Amino acid sequence: MIRMRTSLIGLAAAGAIALAGCAGGSSTETTSPAAEEVTFDEGTTMAALNEAGKVTIGTKFDQPLFGLMGPSGVPEGFDVEIGKIIASNLGIAEEDIEWVETVSANREPFIENGQVDFVVATYTINDKRKEVVSFAGPYYMAGQSILVLADNEDITSEADLVGQPVCSVTGSTPAAKLEEIGATPVLTDTYSNCLEPLRNGTVVAVSTDNVILAGLAAQNEGEFKVVGEPFTSEPYGIGLALEDDEFRMWINDVLEASYEDGTYEAAWNETAGTVLPFVEPPAPDRY
Amino acid sequence: MAQLWSLMPQFWEGLRATLLLLAVSGGLALVLGTLITAMRISPVPVLRWFAAVWTEVARNTPLTLVFFFTAFVLPMLGFRAPFLLLAFVALTYYTSPFVAEALRSGINGVPVGQAEAARSIGLGFGQTVSLVVLPQAFRMTIPPLINVYIALTKNTSVAGGFFVVELFASTRQLVNDNGNIVIPILVLAAALYLAITVPLGLAAVQLEKRWVVSR
Amino acid sequence: MGGLAMSATSVLFDAPGPRARRASLVGSIVSGIALVAGAAWIVALLAAPRQSGGITLPGMFDASRWDIFLDPEVWTFIGAGVVATLQAAAVAAVGAIALGVVFSLMRSSQLPWVRIPTAVMLEFFRGMPVLLMMLFILLVASTGAFWAVVIALIIYNGTLIGEALRAGLAALPRGQREAALSLGMREFQSKLLVEFPQAFRQMLPIIVAQLVVLLKDTSLGYIVGYNEIIRSNMNNLASFFGNRYLFSLFIVTLVIYLTINLLVSWFARWLSWRTASGGHLTKDVGAAPGTADPTSTIRLMQASAAARQSEDTRHG
C-alpha cells in the first residue's frame, strides 16, 4: 500500500519533470519478509518486543532516499526498509511499527529515555555518541560529498570549497566537517531549502552525505550534479540502548543474514537503488 | 565539564550573531513602528488604511513564514543580499506591528486634554504629535516596548533555520557533535538567553514602577 | 483602541477642507495604482522562466509546480497538519488560562514566601525562548512531540496570562475587595468570587490576543518534530516532492495560516466589542478612555501598561 512515488519519479529520467500528482495505484509492494513466528530467550529486548507485538523505530522524515515522510503518512526509504527487516525478524508486522521522527537533537535522549526502541536514521557512528548509546552495524558506508550546479566546472573536490559558502543542515555531521575544512557553512533546517541558494548563486555548493545529494539531484533533473569523491567516511549504524549487548548482537546477526539472503539488496533497489548503484554492505562492527 | 567549556567559542559566535540580530532589527523596528503609528493617526485616509492593513497582516503571519519569504522569495525577485540582511528584514517586519501597538498604547494613555490644548494654541498635526503627545506617551511606552524586545530576543532563534548561525543554531550543532552532553549544552544555551532577557525584564519592571507611579 | 487614536480626526488636526480632501483623493488613486503596478511586477518576475545549471526551469506559476495539489491525498496530509496545529493550540489555550489563574493568585498572594519565589519563577519562564523550552521538555520528560509543544506553550502563555490577570486585579476598584471582606469572605473567597470574574472580563481582549499568539507559536513545534502546518508542508512535503514545489507550498501554507489567524483575531475583536458594550459602566478597556475623566485614564493606563507588559511579549 506504499506509494513509491519518489522512486517512480527518479526512474522517469527522460526529463519527465511533471508527472500528474496521483500516480494511481501503482503500489510497489516492498519485499520485506512477513512477520515470522519467532521465539526469543526470556528477558531479552527481542522477547519483550515480540510479546508487545509492536516496536517504535526512530527515523528521519526529511532525508531523500533514506527516510522521507510523504502524504501517505508513513515514511519511505532505505532506513525505513532496514527498520522493517528488523521488525519482521522480531515477529512484528509492518503495520505495527510506530515511526517516530528523530531529529538530530533528540536521537540520543530518545534512546536513553526509551521513547524509541532503536534508531535507524542516517545515524553516523562516532565515539562521542558511543558513550551514551550503542550501535549495531554499520549497515551502509556513506561519505560526505558535494553538489553543484550542472554547468559548474570550477568545483571538483572539497579543496575547492575552502573559503566558499557551502550549504548544509543545522546540527549535522557534514556541517561540522565543512567548518573543519575551512568552508563557510550556511545552515538551514532541511536539505530541500539548500537548493534555492545554490540556484541563485548565494552558495557555491551543497554538502552532505553522497546518498542524500544523489537524491536531491534526481529530484531536480539535470540541474545539479554530484562531484568529486566522498571525502569522509560516514558509517550509518543502528542506535540502541547503551547496555543492551544482546539486542545489539542480535541486530548484527539480522543484518548479516539480510546481506546473505538478498533482502538487503532488494530493500536497496526499491529505495535508494533507483538512483544509486548497489555496493557491498560493510561488515558489522561487533565491539 | 571541560568538554562543555571547550565549546564556549562556538557559543560566543552564536551569541554575537543573536545580539547583532537583536540590536539591528530592534532599532529598525523602532523606526518602522513609529512610522506606522504616525501613519495610523495621520489625517490622510490612505496612510491610515495602509498602516492598519500592514499591522493586521504582519501580526498574523507566523515568523517562520516571514523568514521563508525573505530567505527564498526575495532572492527570486532579485533581491540578492547576505542572509544576515534578509534576517534583519524579516525580524524588523515581524516586530514592527508590536512596536506600533506599544506606541499606540502609550499615546492612548495621554489625556485628550493635552491634544486639545495643543490644537487650541494653533499647533498642527506634526507639531502636536512630536512636541506634546509623543514625549508624554514615551513614558507609558517604555515598559511594553521593553517586552517587545524581550520577545525579539527569543524570536532571533528562528533565524537559525534560515542560514544565520545564531545562538540556537550553534546549540543544535553542538548538540549533534557532542551527543554525550546534550542536556548541559541546552542548559548553557538557556542561561545565555536568560542573561539577555532577564535584565531587560527587570529594567521594564523598574521603569514601570518609577514612571507610572509618579503620575 | 479608543482614546487619542480614535478621536484623532477631531483632536490632532483640523477636519480636512476641500483642497485637503482632493489632495487625499489624488494620493489614494496614485498609491492604488502604484500598489497594483508593484504587485503585477512581482507576479511577472515570479512567472518568468529561469536559467539554472544550464537548463531552463519553468516559472513559479507554471502548472508543473502546482500539480501535486490535484492529489486529494496531499490535501489530506495538509489537513492533518491543520488539525495538528488546532489541536495543540486548543489544548494549550485551556491549560494556559488555567495556569494563568493559578499564577496570578500566587503572584498576588499576601504571603511573601509564595509571592517572591513565584515572581522569580515567572521571570525565568518569560525569559526563556519557547523553542528551548520545547526541546527541554521533549528531552528531559519522556513525552512525545505533542506534549512537549503543548506543555511549553502552557507554561509560557500561562505566565503572560497570569500577568494580565494580575493587572486586571490591580485595576479593580479597591472597594470591591473591601466590600467582599466586610461581608465576611476570606481573602481567597473574595478573590475567587468577586475579584477574579471582574478582572477576567476586563482583561478578556488581552487574554484572547495572547491566545492568538499561542496559535502562531505552535509553528515552533518544528524543533521537536511536531507535524503542524508549516513543518508538514515546508519540510515533509517539500522534501518528498522536491524543491520544485517550494514556492507553491509556501503560498498555500501562507494562505491557510493567514485565514486561520485572521478568523481567530476577528473573533477576538468581536468578543472584546461584545464584552465592552455589554459590560460595566466605567473602567472598560474597550471604551474610549479619553471620554472619561483624566484620572481614570491614568489608572486605566496603569493597569493597561502592566497588562501591555505581558501582552507585548508576543512571540511567534
Model pLDDT for residues B8-58, shown as the tens digit of each residue: 998 999 999 999 999 999 999 999 998 898 888 877 777 888 889 988 888
Nearest CA in chain B to C291: B112
What proportion of chain C, given as a percentage, has pLDDT over 70?
84
Residue numbers in B near A108 (CB within 8 A): 179-180, 182
For residue C159, give how far its alpha carbon lies from the nearest alpha carbon of chain A (Å): 27
**Taking CB atoms and an 8 Å cut-off, how many pairs form between chains A and B?**
72
For residue C189, give how far its alpha carbon lies from the nearest alpha carbon of chain B (Å): 29
- A50-94 pLDDT, tens digit per residue, is 888 889 999 998 888 888 888 888 899 999 999 999 999 888 888
| pLDDT score at B85 | 93
Asked whether the predicted pLDDT for residue C312 surpasses 70, the reply is: no
- A217-276 pLDDT, tens digit per residue, is 888 888 888 888 888 888 999 999 988 888 899 999 999 999 998 899 999 998 888 888
Instruction: Give me the sheet containing A144-149, strands edge to edge.
Output: A184-188, A165-169, A205-209, A144-149, A224-227
pTM: 0.81
Put simply, the answer to whether B165 touches A193 (Cβ < 8 Å) is: no
Cell readout for C1 is 483602541
Answer yes or no: are the C-beta atoms of C229 and C249 closer than 8 Å: no
Interface check for C67 against chain A (CB to CB < 8 A): the answer is: yes
| pLDDT score at C282 | 38
| pLDDT score at B192 | 92
Cell readout for C32 is 492604488
Nearest CA in chain B to A129: B179
Q: Which residues have C-beta within 8 Å of that of residue A184, sequence separation ≥ 6? A: A163, A164, A165, A166, A178
Nearest Cα residue to C195 out of C217, C174, C223 = C174
Beta strand A67-69 with A118-124: parallel, antiparallel or unpaired? unpaired
Q: How would residue C288 be classed by pLDDT, with cut points 50, 70 and 90?
A: very low
Mean of the pLDDT values across residues C281-292? Answer: 36
Nearest CA in chain C to B63: C316
Residue numbers in B near C132 (CB within 8 A): 157, 168, 186, 189-190, 193
Chains touching B (3+ CB pairs < 8 Å)? A, C
Answer yes or no: are the C-beta atoms of C53 and A151 closer than 8 Å: yes
Mean of the pLDDT values across residues A149-177? Answer: 87
Of C57, C234, C240, which has the smallest distance from its Cβ to A68's Cβ? C240
- C113-156 pLDDT, tens digit per residue, is 888 898 888 888 888 888 888 888 887 777 778 999 999 999 99
Which comes out higher in pLDDT, residue B93 or A212? B93
Backbone angles phi, psi at A91, to 5 degrees: 80, 25
d(CA B141, CA B204): 10
Whether residue A138 has a cis bond before it, omega within 30° of 0: yes
Residue numbers in A near C142 (CB within 8 A): 113-115
Residue numbers in B near A113 (CB within 8 A): none
Cell readout for A137 is 552495524
| pLDDT score at B29 | 95
Put simply, the answer to whether A196 touches C144 (Cβ < 8 Å) is: no
Put simply, the answer to whether B163 touches A197 (Cβ < 8 Å) is: yes
Put simply, the answer to whether A128 touches B180 (Cβ < 8 Å) is: yes
Mutation choice for C interface testing from B36, B64, B74 by most C CBs within 10 A: B64
Which comes out higher in pLDDT, residue A20 or B68? B68
- C26-78 pLDDT, tens digit per residue, is 888 888 888 889 889 988 888 888 877 777 888 888 888 888 888 888 899 99
Nearest Cα residue to A116 out of A29, A198, A54 = A54
Nearest CA in chain C to A217: C242
- B53-98 pLDDT, tens digit per residue, is 988 888 888 898 999 999 988 888 888 888 999 999 999 999 999 8
Of B40, B150, B193, which has the smallest distance from its Cβ to C313's Cβ? B150
| pLDDT score at C277 | 58
Residue numbers in B near C301 (CB within 8 A): 105, 108-109, 140, 212
| pLDDT score at C225 | 81
Q: Which residues have C-beta within 8 Å of that of residue B150, sequence separation ≥ 6? A: B197, B200, B201, B204, C126, C127, C313
Asked whether the predicted pLDDT for residue C7 surpasses 60, the reply is: no
| pLDDT score at B125 | 79
Asked whether the predicted pLDDT for residue C314 surpasses 50, the reply is: no
Backbone angles phi, psi at A237, to 5 degrees: -125, 175
Nearest CA in chain C to B68: C250
| pLDDT score at C298 | 35
Q: How would residue C10 be classed by pLDDT, with cut points 50, 70 and 90?
A: low
d(CA C270, CA C286): 11
Nearest CA in chain C to A212: C239
Q: Which residues have C-beta within 8 Å of that of residue A212, sequence separation ≥ 6? A: A63, A64, A65, A66, A122, A191
Put simply, the answer to whether C129 touches B56 (Cβ < 8 Å) is: no
- Is B32 in a helix, a strand, or coil? helix
d(CA B138, CA B149): 16
- A113-144 pLDDT, tens digit per residue, is 888 999 999 888 888 888 889 999 899 998 99
Element housing A122 (H / E): strand A118-124
Number of H helices, E strands in chain A: 10, 13
Residue C200's alpha-carbon distances to A40, C158, C163, C171, C180, in angstroms, are: 60, 14, 12, 11, 17
Residue numbers in C near A221 (CB within 8 A): 55
Neighbours of C110 (CB within 10 A): 7
Nearest CA in chain B to C59: B76
Q: A102-106, C118-122, C233-237: which range is least confident on average?
A: A102-106
Answer yes or no: are the C-beta atoms of C158 and C91 closer than 8 Å: no
Q: Which residues have C-beta within 8 Å of that of residue B178, sequence separation ≥ 6? A: A128, B3, B7, B185
- Is C261 in a helix, a strand, or coil? helix
d(CA A26, CA A271): 15
Element housing B104 (H / E): helix B83-108
d(CA B69, CA A4): 31
Mean of the pLDDT values across residues A183-191? Answer: 87
Q: How would residue A35 be classed by pLDDT, with cut points 50, 70 and 90?
A: low
Q: How would residue A165 be classed by pLDDT, with cut points 50, 70 and 90?
A: very high
Residue numbers in A near C144 (CB within 8 A): 100, 115
Q: How would residue A1 be classed by pLDDT, with cut points 50, 70 and 90?
A: very low
Asked whether the predicted pLDDT for residue C8 surpasses 50, the reply is: no
| pLDDT score at C309 | 46
Nearest Cα residue to A62 out of A173, A192, A217 = A192
Put simply, the answer to whether A108 touches B161 (Cβ < 8 Å) is: no
Q: Which residues are A57's β-sheet partners?
A: A99, A118
Mutation choice for B interface testing from C43, C215, C232, C315 by most B CBs within 10 A: C315
Interface check for C55 against chain A (CB to CB < 8 A): the answer is: yes
Nearest CA in chain C to A148: C53
| pLDDT score at A33 | 53
Phi-psi region of C245 (alpha: psi -120 to 50; beta: other; left: phi over 0): alpha
Share the mean pLDDT of chain B.
86
Q: A100-109, B189-198, C41-50, C245-254: which range is least confident on average?
A: A100-109
Put simply, the answer to whether A109 touches C235 (Cβ < 8 Å) is: no
- Is A34 in a helix, a strand, or coil? coil
Mean of the pLDDT values across residues C245-256? Answer: 91
Answer yes or no: are the C-beta atoms of C188 and C93 closer than 8 Å: no
| pLDDT score at B135 | 79
Put simply, the answer to whether A105 touches C246 (Cβ < 8 Å) is: no
Mutation choice for B interface testing from C21, C132, C206 by most B CBs within 10 A: C132
Residue numbers in B near A200 (CB within 8 A): 75-76, 80
Which alpha helices (DSSP H) does chain C contain, by range?
Answer: 3-6, 8-11, 18-47, 72-107, 112-127, 130-140, 145-171, 174-182, 187-189, 196-217, 229-230, 238-241, 246-277, 294-311
Answer yes or no: are the C-beta atoms of B61 and B131 closer than 8 Å: no
Mean of the pLDDT values across residues A22-34? Answer: 44
For residue B125, give how far its alpha carbon lies from the nearest alpha carbon of chain C (Å): 5
Of A18, A149, A224, which has the smallest distance from its Cβ to C67's Cβ? A18
| pLDDT score at C62 | 81
Q: Which residues are A165's β-sheet partners?
A: A184
d(CA A55, CA A214): 30
Answer yes or no: are the C-beta atoms of B144 and B152 closer than 8 Å: no
| pLDDT score at A34 | 58
Sign of the CA dihedral running C150, B156, C250, A217: negative
Mutation choice for B interface testing from C260, C284, C312 by most B CBs within 10 A: C312
Interface check for A127 against chain B (CB to CB < 8 A): the answer is: no
